[in-house]
Amino acid sequence: MVKFVESELTQIKREVDQMWTLVFNQMEQSHEAVLNLDRTIAQQIMVRERRVDAYELKIDSDVEDFIALFSPVAVDLRFVLAMLKINGDLERIGDYADGIARFVRDTDMNEMDPELIENLQIKTMFSVVLNMLGTLQEALREEDAAKATAVLSQDEQLDMINKSSASILADYARKNPDAIPFCLGFGGVFRKLERTGDHLTNIAEEIVFYIDAKVLKHNNAEE
Amino acid sequence: MEKIEAKEVDFYYGDFHALKHISMDIPQNKVVAFIGPSGCGKSTFLRLFNRMNDLVPGSRLEGEILIDGKNIYAPEVQVDELRKEVGMVFQRPNPFPKSIFENVAYGLRVNGIKDKAFIEHRVEEALKGAALWNEVKEKLNASAYALSGGQQQRLCIARAMAVSPSVLLMDEPASALDPISTAKIEELISDMRGKVTIVIVTHNMQQASRVSDKTAFFYMGEMIEYDDTKVIFTNPHKEATQNYITGRFG
């Protein structure tokens, strides 16, 4: 019994890891696409989004089967519950990468203003998101709760950059009225990256829940 | 409030040290499950609560077991009186070769009750309590052996409950039954919760998690972990417990 239960769990973990790599690549590519307003890359991201959705359905189904067939308890139950939730979070992050690609496809702008890019700190924002995504993937692979917890503080930086982006884009739109539609769409990219940070925070909490059985969620009640 | 208190209990079958230094409190009117691999001592421990092990030659108990604060191994304790308070249901249903009615009435008659109306009332009450009344009310004089295995087990529960014990010990009460009969026994346990203290030994982990308030895990004569059932099955504190309940034992 032990061996085949282990092999089912290993299979679910492998699928989540593969989905994770795909979502990481989608987000990395969306960075590339948005900086260069590269519509070819954007198109590739939109095509690959279907694979992210397919992974989500497969993992959902595998976890459902595992719960129905093996009645997991304790660490096994926490593991499959965490995988189910992480699966949902990764799918949402995949949606955000797809949303960013759609912005690139639809905008009338052909190239980015380097000064605007610098002021908005969008490179930093992508770098933080990708760093969180990669570190959390390692944390799950290595079952390292401390590594997962370490990324939590980075979400604040995403919130701050997102907050400041609104006024920078408003100023830019004021000075460049032709760019108003672009600025509205570009603002959506920041909100997507900020929401990605929230999902990554959820993922960190799920990893800690699985490994240490601690619930970090909603612990900051004073906020 | 504690119904049963085991204090530093060691138990020996001859030279074999079957239970090692076990202390635990069983709260009143709760359901407590004992789980663990075969030979871990859980049934031996259960049988100490109504002194069933007294019958085993060469067995020896050290430590104390208190029910309602009184040491049940004190010299003045009458074992028959103790067993009125502490009923027991076994793995295989063991009805007497008598009618359904007489099986349930047996304990009352042995206790000297002669009032026919009272006995009839108690038998009906006990059979209703065991969710068997509707199935047998038309054939109370039929042989208990005519009942199915699941019905026989519920009859044994009715028989045990007829004398109104405050503790019911159940040693794998559903392991010989089909899933429907098992569900009925589990429903009975759930109905009795809050009215009687139940200690159940089971190999079925899902059964322990479904029916009990607290669970104790035993291994090689030791009680490894004892906690709320929710804790044991979601986040046990001992690795051995986790290995056992997730099937990684051995």
DSSP symbol at B143: B
Report pLDDT digits (tens) over B71-115.
999 999 999 999 999 999 999 999 999 999 999 999 999 989 999
Q: Of B103, B195, B214, give the one whose Cα is nearest residue B156.
A: B103
Torsion of CA B13, B16, B22, B26, to 10 degrees: -40
Q: Edge-to-edge strand order for the sheet containing B59-67?
A: B16-27, B2-13, B59-67, B70-71
List CB contacts (< 8 A) between B247 and chain A.
1-2, 5
The answer to whether residue A74 neighbours chain B at the CB level (below 8 Å) is yes
Q: Of A210, A167, A173, give the one whose Cα is nearest residue A190.
A: A167
The answer to whether residue A2 neighbours chain B at the CB level (below 8 Å) is yes
A15 to chain B, closest Cα gap in Å: 22
Report pLDDT digits (tens) over A164-222.
999 999 999 999 999 999 999 999 999 999 999 999 999 999 999 999 887 766 665 44
State the first-to-last Cα distance of chain B, in angstroms, to the nearest integer.
37
Report pLDDT digits (tens) over B104-153.
999 999 989 999 999 999 999 999 989 899 999 999 999 999 999 999 99
Per domain, the residue ranges of chain A are 2-222
Mean of all residue pLDDT scores within chain A: 93
Domain A2-222 -> CATH class: mainly alpha
| Residue in A closest to B241 by C-alpha | A74
Residue B99 one-letter amino acid: S
Q: What is the ipTM of this complex?
A: 0.71
The answer to whether residue B35 neighbours chain A at the CB level (below 8 Å) is no
- Please report the residues numbered 96 through 135 in chain A whose beta carbons come closer than 8 angstroms to any beta carbon of chain B: none
